[in-house]
Each structure stands twice: as structure tokens, then as C-alpha cells.
Amino acid sequence: MRKIIHVDCDCFYAAIEMRDDPRLRGRPLAVGGDPGKRGVIATCNYEARAYGVRSAMASAYAKKLCPDLLIVPPRMAVYREVSAAVQAIFADYTTLIQPLSLDEAYLDVSDSQVCKGSATLMAQEIRQRVRDSQGITVSAGVAPNKFLAKIASDWNKPDGLKVVLPDELEAFVAALPVERLHGVGRVTAQRLNNLGVDTCAQLKLWRKADLVREFGSFGERLWELARGIDERPVVVESRRQSVSVEHTYDQDLPDLAACLDALPPLLDKLAQRLGRLEGQYRVSKPFVKLKFHDFTQTTLEQAGAPVTPEGYRDLCIQAFARGARPVRLIGVGVRLDNAHSPLGEQLLLF
């Protein structure tokens, strides 16, 4: 059976800010954009979370929840430097490392002989080394697969460690609420609850065919997760899935015409980013994302749609029709596939 460690830095950006300026400790702190310029919270410390402040929340709304909240601008160069140092520590234990972002990663240590092959001891040692060398804390989860390792890393946050041993797997999964399952969002969780399914123990009673009938192809995934099954490998070289750009506007775009007028500069930036990609990718389909003034959002993508200004205008028109109200953010992008032909050929469409 595999041995997977999921490591997650606690409040990563905020932790670095508190490390570098101890005066920030013990008070509500967030890293993000200016509330007066439609900024968004990137992350916050636990003092801020106690007030309901969360990542991806509008900074202005976060200040309403917590008037004493201090919001500092991000220092991405510093965060990347710390992330690289943490990744270097991981590399002392295995070459099978899958970074998910600057602050979290999966490690497959199944064949590692460090710490006499004990994944638990490796996780303990990694946590201590990060604390000693970088001055921040990380939480870790150890389990037989990625699904359970990620849940475990969140179990005793912050600065925690949770180990799910193979003989504990069945009982651990059975007690999980369905909301904890990978891929189960609010809507799917509510559907499950309406069917009388609140825990994985209840979900496990359903036949695979019945779950597929209710949830389509995702039903098969639910059947597996209810049993703690997750065969996904730790992927060392993750293929890029998409390229996109987005912009949050200081003033809401009041109507469709204003949204369409905002597209050209976004498409110019998108073309520039695509031009910097290596030639192993092919454009699969374009997409447009709109976030309305009430923070609801929609993303519309269409296989076979032209990757042209006209194609994006059509997608924007359709996406706007889903909300038909002022827009605070527009995003444009493309999904990517592997390809032998250079992506640069696709850029002629712009």
C-alpha cells in the first residue's frame, strides 16, 4: 500500500508577513488588495478567520466583517523564495513531489528509505525542518492515497499532523461527512443530503449503478471515495490545464455593452501569455468568466468555438445573459491539450 504525505503551509502569505514583522502577530491580518480598489483577500491568519474572513473574499467586505482587519499587499517574490526552500526540504525525502501551489504539495514516499521508511517520521521531520529554517508552520497528513492525505492535513490545523493508517482507513472514511469528499461542492452535498446521505457510511450503502443514475459519471467516483479508494498517482510534472487573465474593475460594468468594450485589452494580455508557453500545447476551447456585483459568478466554455475576438464576444454575450446584472470581474482564457504542433500557430487567431 502506498504512503502519501500532503503538506500544507498554514496561512502561508500571512505567516510570512507575521514572521518578518512580529508586530503583526496576535491581530487580524490579511494579505490582499486594496479595499478601495475592489481588491480581494489572498489569505488571512486565524485571528481574521474568527471574524468570518476568508480567501477570495472582497477586501471591502472583509473589512465590514472585521473593521480592525489589517490588509497588507502581497510580496510574491518573498513567498516564492520561501516556497522554493520548502520544496528543497521535500526533495530530501523523495523525488515524487507534486506541488499544487506555492504552499502545498503531495509527496509519495512509498519507496523512500529516509527515517527507516516511516512516512510518519518523515512528516514530523519535515514539519520541524520548515519551522526551524523558515520560521513558519506547516500541517501534514499521512495516508495511503492523495484523497485521504489531503483531508488528514486539514484535520489538526494549524501546525498539526494526522496519520491515517491502513487498518484505520475504513472507520476514518465512514465517519466523514460527504462535504469532505473531493469534488463534492455545496450543490452536490445538498443533493446527497436530500437523498438521506450525510456521511460516507450512508453513502457506502448505495450501489454504484444507483449513484451513476443519480449523479452521472461522478457517481462512480462517489462510490470509490465512500470506500476510501483513490488511485490517482503523485504526478511530478503536471500538465498545464489552462491559461487565463482576469480583471476586477474599480466600478461595476453596468451592462453588456460595457463588458464587450472591456474584452480587447484582456484578449491582448491573453495572447501575450499564450505566446510565452512552450510549443507542447494546443488550444482546446475558449472560455469566459463573469463575476457579478453580488459575487455570484458563471464560466462559459465551448469546444469548437473560434479562439477569436468574435468568439469571445459571443461567449461573453451568453455568459452575461445568465446574470444580466452589473459585472465586477471579467476573465478570459483557453483550456489546453497536449499537441505536437506549436501553439504559436494558434495565436494567429488573435
**How far apart (Å, rounded) are the C-alpha atoms in residues 324 and 133?**
51
**How far apart (Å, rounded) are the C-alpha atoms in residues 28 and 42?**
14
Task: Spot the catalytic one: 104, 170, 179, 224.
Answer: 104
**How far apart (Å, rounded) are the C-alpha atoms in residues 63 and 9?**
25
Q: Which residues pair with 4 in a beta bridge?
A: 108, 143
337 is in an annotated binding site: no
Residues 6+ apart with CB under 8 A from 202: 196
**How far apart (Å, rounded) are the C-alpha atoms in residues 273 and 66?**
37
Burial (Cβ within 10 Å: 0-12, 13-18, ≥19) of residue 86: buried
Neighbour count for residue 182 (Cβ, 10 Å): 13
Q: Is 214 designated active site?
A: no
DSSP state at residue 243: E
**How far apart (Å, rounded) are the C-alpha atoms in residues 348 and 195?**
50
Smallest Cα–Cα separation from 24: which of 66, 55, 70? 70
Residues 6+ apart with CB under 8 A from 77: none
Burial (Cβ within 10 Å: 0-12, 13-18, ≥19) of residue 247: middle
DSSP SS3 for 89: helix
- In our burial notation (b when 16+ CB lie closer than 10 A, e otherwise), range 322-342 reads ebeebbbbbbbbbbbeeeeee
Instruction: Fill in the amino acid letter for 311.
Output: G
294 is in an annotated binding site: no
**How far apart (Å, rounded) are the C-alpha atoms in residues 167 and 260?**
57
Name the one residue in this structure whose C-alpha cell is 492523495. 146
**How far apart (Å, rounded) are the C-alpha atoms in residues 81 and 71?**
21
Query: Which of the residues are catalytic?
Result: 104
Q: Which residues are annotated as a binding site for Mg(2+)?
A: 8, 103
